[in-house]
Amino acid sequence: MNKKQQKLIDESLAILQALDFPRAQQNERSALTLLALLNLTPPKTWKDAEGPMIGIRAILDFCRSNYGKPYAENTRETFRRQTMHQFVAAGLVVENPDKPERPTNSPKWCYQIEPSALSFLRDHFKAKTWKSELASYLTKRAGLTSKYAMEREMLMVSVTIAEGRAIQLTPGKHSQLIKEIIEEFASRFAPGSKVLYAGDTGEKWGYFDKEGLLALGVEVDMHGKMPDVVLYYPAKNWLLLVEAVTSHGPVDGKRRSELAKLFSRCTAGVVYVTAFPTRAEMARYLGEISWETEVWVAEAPTHMIHFNGVRFLGPYD
């Protein structure tokens, strides 16, 4: 690494310190991330800062190509969780400015330096006005952080899990399908059922009734891959394990075995269900769906498709 590269990294780190980021973000990784967000490479100066939309993959490429830092592919989650989440929370960065409702698991997920932060850094860092403008920016930032937090909250998908109770899931097709499973599928095919678990693309454990599962003999390993929705149907004493398919596959033979092992001690009868948003989506996976499972399609919510067996809907021994 040459002196010009190191100088920009050191200056970027000094900015993070001045903006009062926690020590966990005062490191080279976070400094390089800020430089990538501003598209700053030697021989550019801070007055040349830009505000491109950029994803985590592109940030890793930027570090390697422009600063000789070949971060491994498996560090993407570290960049996302240990740097970018904090940048977003502080109002320094905006998520998906072109499409705020973009689902978390979208390959097009991107970030952009917040416009007022861009102007502040471009116009005042390394200038005589830096100290006075820094104090002004820090004063305004609390309101900015609150503003973006409210905007993110407005985009959340509200899901009713019981009368008078709701949870908020990260926006996107997957969360919308989970909402339909709970509010449309359950009301028709498992009326009076109770939601014991609902996953979220943003936070894996979107809703988790640990005590409800323990009462059925199920102690879930936090590392176990849960189905997207778990419903307990007391009228039949059934536990319905529902996979919502928008990007990943259905309950195939392998997945059915995984779920059978995860819920092997359940005292209720276990029913395996795959939910699709449309029949066209179902057609893509038709050859993979396991026998002795059920299929529900959100666009035709009053119907079920039963894969083999003597019963329409129910557990198998």
Look at residue 161 in the predicted model and tell me its pLDDT. Answer: 64
Taking only the tens place, the pLDDT of each residue in 30-55 is: 999 999 999 999 999 999 999 999 99
In the chain, domain spans: 3-155, 157-307
Residue with tokens 């095919």, as numbered in its chain: 189
Which CATH superfamily groups domain 157-307?
A: BsuBI/PstI restriction endonuclease, C-terminal domain (3.40.1350.80)
Question: Among 1-10, 173-182, 218-227, which is the least confidently predicted range?
Answer: 218-227
The mean per-residue pLDDT over the stretch 70-90 comes to 91
Helix (H, G, I), strand (E, B) or coil at 312: coil
Say whether the peptide bond before residue 43 is cis (omega within 30 degrees of 0): yes
Distance, CA of 216 to CA of 230 (rounded, Å): 12
The mean pLDDT of the chain is: 86
Look at residue 84 in the predicted model and tell me its pLDDT. Answer: 93
Look at residue 57 in the predicted model and tell me its pLDDT. Answer: 95
Look at residue 139 in the predicted model and tell me its pLDDT. Answer: 81
Q: Does 254 score more than 70 pLDDT?
A: yes
The mean per-residue pLDDT over the stretch 216-241 comes to 86
Residue with tokens 């070949």, as numbered in its chain: 70
Strands 293-297 and 304-307: antiparallel
User: How far from the centroid of its chain's Cα atoms is residue 68's Cα?
Assistant: 30
The mean per-residue pLDDT over the stretch 239-256 comes to 90
Q: Return the DSSP state at 7.
A: H
91, 117 contact by CB (below 8 A): yes
Look at residue 107 in the predicted model and tell me its pLDDT. Answer: 85
100, 47 contact by CB (below 8 A): no
- DSSP one-letter string for 273-296: EEEES-HHHHHHHGGGPPSSEEEE
Q: Does 289 score more than 80 pLDDT?
A: yes
Distance, CA of 102 to CA of 95 (rounded, Å): 9
Q: 3-155: which CATH number, 1.10.10.1820, 3.40.50.970, 3.40.50.300, 1.10.3720.10?
A: 1.10.10.1820
The mean per-residue pLDDT over the stretch 230-246 comes to 93
CA distances from 137 to 161, 252, 288 (A): 41, 53, 55
182, 195 contact by CB (below 8 A): yes
Q: Does 242 score more than 90 pLDDT?
A: yes
